Structure 1
Amino acid sequence: MSAWQQIGGTIAAEFSDLPDLVELTRVCIRLLIAALLGGILGFEREQKGKAAGIKTHMLVSLGSAIFVLIPLQAGVQPAELTRVIQGIVSGIGFLGAGTILKADTEDRVRGLTTAAGIWMTSAIGMTAGLGHEASAVLCTLLALLIFAAMPRLMRLIEKE
Structure 2
Amino acid sequence: MKFLHTFQLYDFLDTLVSLFTAFVFGTLIGAERQYRQRSAGLRTNVLVSVGAAAFVDLGNHLTGTDGSVRVVAYVVSGIGFLGAGAIMKEGMNVRGLNTAATLWASAAVGACAGADLVAQSAAVTVFVLAGNTLLRPLVNAIDRIPLNVHSSEASYEIVVTTDGLRAAEIREALDERLEAAKYPVRETEVAYRSEDNVEIIATLVPLAVDAAELDRVAADLARMPGVRHATWNVSALE
TM-score band, normalised by shorter chain: 0.7 to 0.9
Which structure is richer in relative contact order (CA contacts within 8 A, separation 6 or more)?
Answer: 1
1:155 equivalent in alignment to 2:144: no
Question: What secondary structure, in the 3-state scheme, does the structure 2 residue paired with 1:109 have?
Answer: strand
Corresponding residue number in structure 2 for 1:132: 117
Decide which of 26, 41, 50 is 2:29's aligned counterpart: 41
Q: Judge which range, 28-37 or 80-89, deviates more.
A: 80-89
Moved over 4 A (4+): none
Corresponding residue number in structure 2 for 1:14: 3
Corresponding residue number in structure 2 for 1:85: 72
CA contact 2:68–2:115 (8 Å) conserved in 1 = no
1:30 equivalent in alignment to 2:18: yes
Mapped to 2, the partners of 1:55 and 1:15 lie a distance apart of 33
RMSD: 1.5
Corresponding residue number in structure 2 for 1:94: 81
Displacement after TM superposition at 1:154 (Å): 1.4
The 5 Å alignment of 1:93-112 reads 93-103=80-90, 105-106=91-92, 108-112=93-97
- Structure with greater helix share of residues: 1
* CA distance 1:15–1:119, shift in 2 (3 Å): farther
Question: What secondary structure, in the 3-state scheme, does the structure 1 residue paired with 2:39 have?
Answer: coil
Decide which of 48, 52, 64 is 1:64's aligned counterpart: 52
Mapped to 2, the partners of 1:127 and 1:70 lie a distance apart of 13
Task: Kindly provide the amino acid, as one letter, of the partner of residue 58 in structure 2.
Answer: I
Displacement after TM superposition at 1:16 (Å): 4.6
Displacement after TM superposition at 1:157 (Å): 2.5
Q: TM-score, normalised by structure 2?
A: 0.58
Q: TM-score, normalised by structure 1?
A: 0.84
- Structure with greater strand share of residues: 2
Gaps of 5+ in 1: 1-9
Question: What secondary structure, in the 3-state scheme, does the structure 1 residue paired with 2:121 have?
Answer: helix
Corresponding residue number in structure 2 for 1:7: none
Corresponding residue number in structure 2 for 1:73: 61
